[in-house]
Amino acid sequence: MQLVFEKRKSVSRRAIVLVPILSFIVSLILTGFLLLAFKANPFRTYIAMFIGAFGSWSNFTETLVKATPLMLTGLGVTIAFKLRFWNIGAEGQLVFGGVAAAWVALFWSPFLPAWSLLPMVMLVGMLAGAMWAGIPALLKTRLNVDETLVTLMMNYIAILFAEGLYYGVWRDPDGYGFPGTKPFPEAAWLPRFSGRAHMGLFIAIGIGLLLWVAMNRTKWGFELNMIGKNQKAARCLGVNVKRNILIALLISGALSGLAGVSEVTAISHRLQQGIAMGYGYTAIIVAWLSQLNPIAGLFVAVLMAGLLVGGDQIQMMMGLPAAMGLVLQGMILFPMLAGSLFTEYRIKRIDPRNSRVAESNEELSV
Amino acid sequence: METEKKPILEMRGITKRFPGVVANDHVDLELFPGEVLALLGENGAGKTSLMNVLAGLYRPDEGAIFIRGEKVQIDSPRDAMNLGVGMVHQNFMVVDTMTVAENIILGLKEVSVIPDMGKICERIREISSHYNLKVDPNAYIWQLGVGEQQRVEILKQIYRGAEILILDEPTAVLTPQESDELNNILRQMTSEGKAAVFITHKMEEVIAFSDWVRVLQHGKLVTVKRTAETNPQELARLMVGREVLFRIDKTPAEPKDVILELENVEANDEKGMPALKGFSLQVRQGEIVGIAGVAGNGQRELTEVITGLHPVLDGSIKINGKDMTNRSPLAIIRSGVSHIPSDRIAMGVVGDMSVASNLVMKGYRREPITHGGLLDPRRILDFARRLIDTFKIATPTPETHVKFLSGGNIQKTILAREIDSCGGVLVAAYPSRGLDVGATEAVRNEMVRQRDKGSGVLLVSEDLDELLSVADKIVVMFEGQSMGELNSTNADVEMLGLMMSGVSKKKAEKEYYGSDHATGV
């Protein structure tokens, strides 16, 4: 008997839902072997991670704290990926948004009424993120420069620029040598609602819902879809491809910028070391695992945040490296990429003796 | 006599399945040395699959192949080459940036690491003079025209020792004169005991080129005939399974106002070489203007400057009296231009979106598809169902992704969308290329109907029969210029052929009538 891949006659809806779930289970199994190598019981470890992330309200609020920037950057990346614009620069856009937020919060307060400080911080932070994504978008649409490289490189520029600021000119003189700026005035704080969980969560959820409507029910979303799936045809049909890419990337960057704003205004209340936590990279996993569906993206962000928080927990409770959560995150992507094959292909059995195709190939298809 | 000859090639019971289709269903084939076999069938009848099995590109699910009486297994093009089977594909497999000689030895195992190019060129020259295949071994492929590239492909196969030459729709890209040359080459080869299989869906070519003809229909072999004992009408009937109308019914055109006008348009191709050189054209409401010419003489640039996809360097384009030179594609669509693009998969549809979505890709901008700023999925479906009905698009559901449809139904999807949104000008580039007879008929009739509704239609085609039967006027393009305009009712193929090879109408008339007189004497 021989197994071959056969192209399906239509895209399998079942596979679209099943593949991410099965990928998650496969990654749990694979990471389980790694845990065994660390002489840890995988079941106990996973239970500890789950309890650490979701076991109590206060643990859950920590998960929500990490889910918020993941939602925003994940949604930002989703818009860009929808166009097949490989924006892997969400991290840099987040950091640059945080830097701009710090600038407004630290230096504009004397000139602005208190009530307008936070809105201004958010606006400028989003503009900064938009700018940081707009540069590669312009380079791509005007000069056809590869966006993958530019967005990646601009991450380093943003991160080092931020470091330069909080280690250097913006460093808090009363900070006992800690790399960070002075704390922001309270008027620039984004309110928290429980523990460290803050209003950014609701903003992110709202944006996720809005984005779903925009992508599925508006002309704009229809055009994004066309461009992403066949740019040439979109152009032939009168869609302004370059303008759409630019607008989409400005929005993509603005959302990541907003994630940076919420990190500095709700969590640390200053720009400090730790602004670049890797959310912008995890955002790629969020976007991919949610199959570019903004609503699914919100849930996936919570799951990924749970892995981060759970990872911290097993470090404290079981003496295992916290990076185990990150390992698990990375592990999900492999079965996911392999599994996406099944949305368009299925396995067919061939019997080489009479070269006849086995009739019962339905059971084998995912 | 043939019964005494032994076949050089036999294929028995070849079956090849693809998901959802049986491309070849127990097909038998015999080929004798010194003969040309035509493999005739509609698109999707399984001609190319069968030959891909022979050339080692596909592995058959069932069946056996015998070459010179011995059972063989062909697992790769290299196996095929070693058995003396060579295939000239529809899309030439040549590397543009390499010379003819380099292309010919590319991938050959026998060639040493540092090839002796002098010796190789000598051998190439030998073959080319023997078969009258005029090619310069040191020329780069990009310098060659399509006809010459095809000669390179044939030369390559002979160089590699092909005894059985397979040609997949070889004349699609050739002028009538170049086709004649190809015929001579094939005759020379077969006179030396070589054999050829030649895939086509044109009846005239079967008659002109082949000794035997095998007709395939839906993957099955329906007939084997000696070419001398059949005629185009019979072949057409066998191929489609019913009588075919070669001429479509249409009344004489009643042209009204000029709706599309090009004046001295200049444009470059993508490499920056002049593609349109002062091209002028007028299309009136209620007429179909055909553009004839060998592909690559500026037709693509012509359709793209009109639709706003390609920049105009000089000259002007007027649509409905308004200057639309270098306006955006959207502005031109809004001024009433519909476009059936030459590359329907790459430019005409979004394969990963549904039939319904593809049908509204022009209508989505206006009410009632968009309602209060939002797209209305129910109205999109209603709209799509109506067009699917009217244009008889065969799709399982409106939600099926377009890429799962057949070529003919993809083209009907484009046609439905473009005709439904047409505001007076229809630009159609090769609208029936690669379609089967049924779909071709539908496409052609639709263009005539559009004309009768008062639209101006510009039809670019490489199929002279199509131009002669559908268009009212024919403009011949050569190297970005117009060679003149003919009335399709009194135009003839010889004349068109001359103009397509760069002879102006005046000169062609003189030459043509000149030779006519000569034969008369």
Chain B residues with CB-CB distance to A10 below 8 A: 396, 400-401, 404
- A210 Cβ under 8 Å from any chain B Cβ: no
Task: Give the pLDDT confidence score for residue A366 in this predicted structure.
Answer: 32
Residue A84 has pLDDT above 60, yes or no: yes
Mention every residue, 6+ apart, whose C-beta is less than 8 A from residue B392.
B412, B442
Mean pLDDT (chain A, rounded): 88
| Nearest in space to B336 (alpha carbons), one of B364, B308, B358, B313 | B308
Task: Give the pLDDT confidence score for residue B417 in this predicted structure.
Answer: 95
Helices (H) and strands (E) in chain B, counts: 17, 22
Indicate the range of A330-334, A360-364, B187-191 predicted with least confidence.
A360-364
Task: Give the pLDDT confidence score for residue B498 in this predicted structure.
Answer: 76
> A341 versus B460: which is more confidently predicted?
B460
b/e per residue A141-171 (b: at least 16 CB within 10 A): beeeeebeebbbebbeebbeebeebbeeebb
Chain A residues with CB-CB distance to B374 below 8 A: 213, 217-218
Strand, helix or coil for residue B108: coil
Residue A57 has pLDDT above 70, yes or no: yes
Nearest CA in chain A to B328: A238
A300 to chain B nearest CA, in Å? 25
Beta strands in chain A (DSSP E): 2-7, 192-194, 197-198, 345-351, 356-357
Task: Give the pLDDT confidence score for residue A364 in this predicted structure.
Answer: 35
Task: Give the pLDDT confidence score for residue B508 in this predicted structure.
Answer: 76
Bridge-based pairing state of the strands B425-429 and B337-340: parallel
The answer for B96, left when phi > 0, alpha when psi is -120 to 50, beta otherwise, is alpha
Residue B112 has pLDDT above 90, yes or no: no
Smallest Cβ–Cβ distance between A230 and the set B350, B364, B374 belongs to: B350
- A13 Cβ under 8 Å from any chain B Cβ: no
- A10 Cβ under 8 Å from any chain B Cβ: yes
Strand, helix or coil for residue B114: coil
Indicate the range of A288-292, B170-174, B213-217, B468-472 predicted with least confidence.
B170-174
Q: What is the per-residue pLDDT across A44-53, written as a single tens digit (0 to 9) for each?
A: 888 988 999 9
Residue A324 has pLDDT above 80, yes or no: no
Task: Give the pLDDT confidence score for residue B454 in this predicted structure.
Answer: 92
B262 to chain A nearest CA, in Å? 20
Mean pLDDT confidence for A115-132 = 96
Mean pLDDT confidence for A71-93 = 96
Mean pLDDT confidence for B76-94 = 85
Say what percent of chain A tops pLDDT 90: 64
Residue B309 has pLDDT above 70, yes or no: yes
Nearest CA in chain B to A226: B350
Task: Give the pLDDT confidence score for residue A254 in this predicted structure.
Answer: 98
Interface pTM (ipTM) of the complex?
0.84
Best to test chain B binding among A236, A292, A348 (most B CBs inside 10 Å): A236
Bridge-based pairing state of the strands B62-67 and B70-72: antiparallel
What distance, in Å, lies between the first and last C-alpha atoms of chain A? Answer: 19
Burial of B249 (0-12, 13-18, 19+ CB in 10 A): exposed
- The continuous run of DSSP H or E covering B165 comes out as strand B164-168
Dihedral of the alpha carbons of B94, B98, B102, B106, in degrees to the nearest 10: -50
Chain B residues with CB-CB distance to A219 below 8 A: 364-365, 370, 375
| Nearest in space to B422 (alpha carbons), one of B362, B475, B470, B481 | B362
Residue B242 has pLDDT above 60, yes or no: no
A345 to chain B nearest CA, in Å? 10
Bridge-based pairing state of the strands A345-351 and A356-357: antiparallel
Q: How far is CA B144 from CA A276, B159, B170, B198, B223, in A?
A: 56, 19, 16, 23, 39
The sign of the dihedral angle between the CA atoms of A77, A83, A86, A89 is: negative
* Percent of residues in chain B assigned helix, strand, coil, to nearest 5: 40, 25, 35
Cβ within 8 Å, pair B375-A218: yes
Strand, helix or coil for residue B79: helix
Q: What is the per-residue pLDDT across B409-445, written as a single tens digit (0 to 9) for each?
A: 899 999 999 999 888 999 999 898 777 777 888 889 9
- A245 Cβ under 8 Å from any chain B Cβ: no
Task: Say how far apart CA B256 and CA B236 lie, in whole Å.
Answer: 37
Chain A residues with CB-CB distance to B17 below 8 A: 357
Considering only residues 486 to 505 of chain B, which have any Cβ-Cβ distance to chain A shorter than 8 Å? none
Task: Give the pLDDT confidence score for residue A349 in this predicted structure.
Answer: 66
Chain B residues with CB-CB distance to A238 below 8 A: 328-330, 332-334, 362
Chain A residues with CB-CB distance to B366 below 8 A: none
| Backbone φ, ψ for residue A10 (5° rounding) | -150, 165
Residues forming a β-bridge with B282 = B261
Chains A–B, number of C-beta pairs less than 8 Å apart: 81
Task: Give the pLDDT confidence score for residue A166 in this predicted structure.
Answer: 93
Query: Residue B518: which pLDDT band, with cuts at 50, 70 and 90?
Result: very low
Task: Say how far apart CA B161 and CA B155 lie, in whole Å.
Answer: 10
Cβ within 8 Å, pair B349-A230: yes
Smallest Cβ–Cβ distance between B339 and the set A10, A230, A236 belongs to: A236
| Backbone φ, ψ for residue B177 (5° rounding) | -65, -40
Cβ within 8 Å, pair A240-B328: yes
Query: Residue B285: which pLDDT band, with cuts at 50, 70 and 90?
Result: very high
Task: Give the pLDDT confidence score for residue B2 in this predicted structure.
Answer: 45
Task: Give the pLDDT confidence score for residue A317 in this predicted structure.
Answer: 81
Smallest Cβ–Cβ distance between A226 and the set B60, B350, B396 belongs to: B350
> B122 versus B509: which is more confidently predicted?
B122
Nearest CA in chain B to A223: B361
Cβ within 8 Å, pair B352-A230: yes
Smallest Cβ–Cβ distance between A7 and the set B19, B333, B365 belongs to: B19
- A215 Cβ under 8 Å from any chain B Cβ: no
- A50 Cβ under 8 Å from any chain B Cβ: no
- A9 Cβ under 8 Å from any chain B Cβ: yes
CB A34 within 8 Å of CB A327:
yes
Bridge-based pairing state of the strands B9-18 and B62-67: antiparallel
Residue B247 has pLDDT above 50, yes or no: yes
User: How many of the other CB atoms lie within 10 Å of CB of A181?
Assistant: 23
Mean pLDDT confidence for B294-309 = 89
Mention every residue, 6+ apart, whose C-beta is less than 8 A from residue B141.
B94, B95, B96, B97, B98, B99, B100, B103, B149, B152
Overall pTM surpassing 0.90 (yes/no): no
Task: Say how far apart CA B164 and CA B37 lie, in whole Å.
Answer: 11
CA atoms within 13 A of residue A204's CA, in its CB half-sphere: 32
Smallest Cβ–Cβ distance between B347 and the set A213, A222, A232 belongs to: A232
Task: Say how far apart CA A313 and CA A66 lie, in whole Å.
Answer: 14
B434 to chain A nearest CA, in Å? 20
- A169 Cβ under 8 Å from any chain B Cβ: no
Task: Give the pLDDT confidence score for residue B499 in this predicted structure.
Answer: 82
DSSP state letters, B291-342: EE--TTSSHHHHHHHHTTSS---EEEEEETTEE-TT--HHHHHHTTEEEE-S
Cβ within 8 Å, pair A218-B401: no
Distance of CA A121 to the CA centre of its chain: 22
Chain A residues with CB-CB distance to B60 below 8 A: 355
A213 to chain B nearest CA, in Å? 9
- B22 Cβ under 8 Å from any chain A Cβ: no
Nearest CA in chain A to B404: A9
Smallest Cβ–Cβ distance between B330 and the set A219, A238, A357 belongs to: A238
Mean pLDDT confidence for B108-120 = 78
Task: Give the pLDDT confidence score for residue A294 in this predicted structure.
Answer: 96
Q: Tokens in use for A116?
A: 């307008």
Task: Give the pLDDT confidence score for residue B519 in this predicted structure.
Answer: 35
Residue A351 has pLDDT above 60, yes or no: no
Residue A360 has pLDDT above 50, yes or no: no
- A144 Cβ under 8 Å from any chain B Cβ: no
B368 to chain A nearest CA, in Å? 13
Bond from prior residue into B368 cis (ω within 30 degrees of 0): yes
B471 to chain A nearest CA, in Å? 25
B352 to chain A nearest CA, in Å? 6
Considering only residues 233 to 262 of chain B, which have any Cβ-Cβ distance to chain A shorter than 8 Å? none
Distance of CA A88 to the CA centre of its chain: 10
User: How many of the other CB atoms lie within 10 Å of CB of A334?
Assistant: 13
Residue B245 has pLDDT above 60, yes or no: no
Alpha-carbon Rg for chain A in angstroms: 23
Smallest Cβ–Cβ distance between B374 and the set A217, A229, A356 belongs to: A217
Mean pLDDT confidence for A122-136 = 97
- B520 Cβ under 8 Å from any chain A Cβ: no
Task: Give the pLDDT confidence score for residue A197 in this predicted structure.
Answer: 94
Q: What is the per-residue pLDDT across B334-352, written as a single tens digit (0 to 9) for each?
A: 999 999 998 888 899 999 9
Distance of CA B79 to the CA centre of its chain: 29
Query: Residue B353: which pLDDT band, with cuts at 50, 70 and 90?
Result: very high
Query: Residue B20: which pLDDT band, with cuts at 50, 70 and 90?
Result: low
Mean pLDDT (chain B, rounded): 85
User: How many of the other CB atoms lie within 10 Å of CB of A316?
Assistant: 11
Helices marked H in chain A — which ranges? 13-37, 42-54, 57-82, 90-107, 114-143, 147-167, 200-217, 219-229, 231-236, 241-262, 279-289, 294-318, 323-339, 341-344
Say what percent of chain B tops pLDDT 70: 93
Mean pLDDT confidence for B391-410 = 87
b/e per residue B384-407 (b: at least 16 CB within 10 A): beebbeebebebeebebbbbbbbb
Best to test chain A binding among B21, B26, B350, B379 (most A CBs inside 10 Å): B350
The sign of the dihedral angle between the CA atoms of B323, B329, B335, B338 is: positive
Burial of B482 (0-12, 13-18, 19+ CB in 10 A): buried
Residue B327 has pLDDT above 80, yes or no: yes
Task: Give the pLDDT confidence score for residue A354 in this predicted structure.
Answer: 43
Chain A residues with CB-CB distance to B401 below 8 A: 10-11
Best to test chain B binding among A144, A237, A349 (most B CBs inside 10 Å): A237
Indicate the range of A80-84, A265-269, A314-318, B348-352 predicted with least confidence.
A314-318
The sign of the dihedral angle between the CA atoms of A235, A240, A243, A246 is: negative
> A151 versus A5: which is more confidently predicted?
A151
Residue A356 has pLDDT above 60, yes or no: no
Smallest Cβ–Cβ distance between B19 and the set A6, A232, A238 belongs to: A6
Smallest Cβ–Cβ distance between B375 and the set A6, A217, A229 belongs to: A217
CB B34 within 8 Å of CB B195:
yes
Task: Say how far apart CA B133 and CA B154 lie, in whole Å.
Answer: 9
Alpha-carbon Rg for chain B in angstroms: 25
Task: Say how far apart CA A311 and CA A321 lie, in whole Å.
Answer: 8
Chain A residues with CB-CB distance to B307 below 8 A: 236
Nearest CA in chain A to B332: A238
Query: Residue B387: which pLDDT band, with cuts at 50, 70 and 90?
Result: very high
Mean pLDDT confidence for A57-78 = 96
- Scan for tokens 């135009």, then name that residue: B491
Q: What is the per-residue pLDDT across B42-71, written as a single tens digit (0 to 9) for each?
A: 766 788 889 989 988 888 888 999 998 889
| Nearest in space to B495 (alpha carbons), one of B480, B510, B482 | B510
Mean pLDDT confidence for A309-318 = 84
